Amino acid sequence: MSTARLTIDLDALTSNWRMLDSASSETVETGAVVKANGYGLGVERVGKALAAAGARRFFVAVPEEGLALRRALGPAPEINVFAGHMPGDTDLIAQAGLTPMLNSIDQLLRHVEALPGHAFGVQLDSGMNRLGMEPGEWDALRDIALAQNPTLIMSHLACADEPGHPMNAHQLAMFREMTQGLGVPCSLSATGGILLGPEYHCDVTRPGIGLYGGFPFEEATPVVHLDLPIIQTRDVIPGETVGYGNTWVAQRPSVIATVAAGYADGIHRAMAPNTYLYAGNVACPVVGRISMDLITVDITDLAEEVPETLSLLNEVQTVDVLADNAGTIGYEILTALGNRYKRSYVE
Ligand SMILES: *Cc1c(COP(=O)(O)O)cnc(C)c1O
């Protein structure tokens, strides 16, 4: 079979959730962020596994994602939508029982007019300047919003993956000032914020990337493994070239394997020069350019027989290693994982 195999370890996922849960005290609720189809891993399976592990509150980016999750999880969990309540979202929010995190006066008015009595939360901007009500706006709206009983007030840290960054303490102070004494559950921290320590935990945490095995949760267990089938091998002699643009030239008699996957499957071209495919413990360098559907690999040093597949993602070469190789972040590697992979879930 020439389809690459993506294996998603749901046990590792839930063990990461439990570890992040135990990083905060028992009075803090640990939610789970499953936006972008569970960071590319499949929201249905990921959501069910996390719910079975004990997650009761989930976060998605947009209502359509919330509907998919609601279908998978049934009526019980609270599903919070970061984008809030946009024009055209009302039916979906009502039908799927979603809790929009309202980001502006427009959204607040839209929500209470269209769906009076329907649950909502509020997102505040504490300095990131991306989503949420500004301090001045919140001052003006606070009493109106509180009278409608929001279920959660949240904000988001801009620099939480840099523990020493002064922005963290600044945003914490801003958030405290905006939420003190309101008697509504508060949430400030994603994965990075959880690791900053208890003062950042508030009432509810919102880990995403750490669940899926990514930085900055260094102790995470890797969740994804990716194995690429070898379609063909060939011998090349010194001076022969491999791939588009003739960028790689054989310096010695070499064996080249061609595997089935490429940049159309989320394997960014930029990672080629530093990336290996693994046959067991043996690291075989990618040579030449990564094509849309194919990658060429130097397997000359494989002493044993040529295996059926080579591994791109494993315990050694993690999503963060690939991200470094491509000059990006683990989030982008995960969410770019292609639709063509044959996905299997292990529990
Ligand atoms: C994506 C996101 C999260 C999760 O962040 P991670 O860094 O993946 O843990 C939490 N809150 C908000 C508002 C987000 O957009």
Please answer whether residues 254 and 296 qualify as being in contact, where contact means their C-beta atoms are separated by less than 8 angstroms: no
Query: Would you call 154 exposed, middle or buried from its count of C-beta atoms within 10 A (0-12, 13-18, 19+)?
Result: buried
State how far the Cα of 290 lies from the Cα of 228, in Å rounded to an integer.
13
Ligand 1 centroid to residue 48 C-alpha, Å: 19
- Closest atom of ligand 1 to CA, residue 211: 9
- Can you tell me which residue has the tokens 């994965």? 191
d(CA 41, CA 345) in angstroms, rounded, equals 10
The pLDDT profile of the chain, 347 residues, written as one tens digit per residue, is 789 999 999 999 999 999 999 999 999 999 999 999 999 999 999 999 999 999 999 999 999 999 999 999 999 999 999 999 999 999 999 999 999 999 999 999 999 999 999 999 999 999 999 999 999 999 999 999 999 999 999 999 999 999 999 999 999 999 999 999 999 999 999 999 999 999 999 999 999 999 999 999 999 999 999 999 999 999 999 999 999 999 999 999 999 999 999 999 999 999 999 999 999 999 999 999 999 999 999 999 997 789 999 999 999 999 999 999 999 999 999 999 999 999 999 99
> Residue length, the chain?
347
What structural domains and CATH numbers belong to the chain?
31-212 (3.20.20.10), 224-346 (2.40.37.10)
- Written as one letter, the residue type at 137 is E
Question: 106 alpha carbon to ligand 1 midpoint, in Å?
Answer: 24
Q: Give the span between the Cα atoms of 169 and 260, in whole angstroms.
A: 47
Is 305 exposed, middle or buried (CB count within 10 Å of its CB: 0-12, 13-18, 19+)?
exposed
Is the Cβ atom of 206 under 6 angstroms away from ligand 1? yes
Distance 111 CA to ligand 1 centre (A): 23
244 in catalytic set? yes
Per DSSP, which regions of 35-169 are E strands? 57-60, 78-81, 99-102, 121-123, 153-154
CB of 215 closer than 8 Å to CB of 194 = no
Instruction: Confirm whether 35 is a catalytic residue.
Output: yes
Residue 243: alpha-carbon gap to chain centroid: 32
Catalytic position from the list 35, 48, 276, 345: 35
In whole angstroms, give the CA distance from residue 79 to residue 69. 8
What's the alpha-carbon Rg for the chain, to the nearest Å? 23
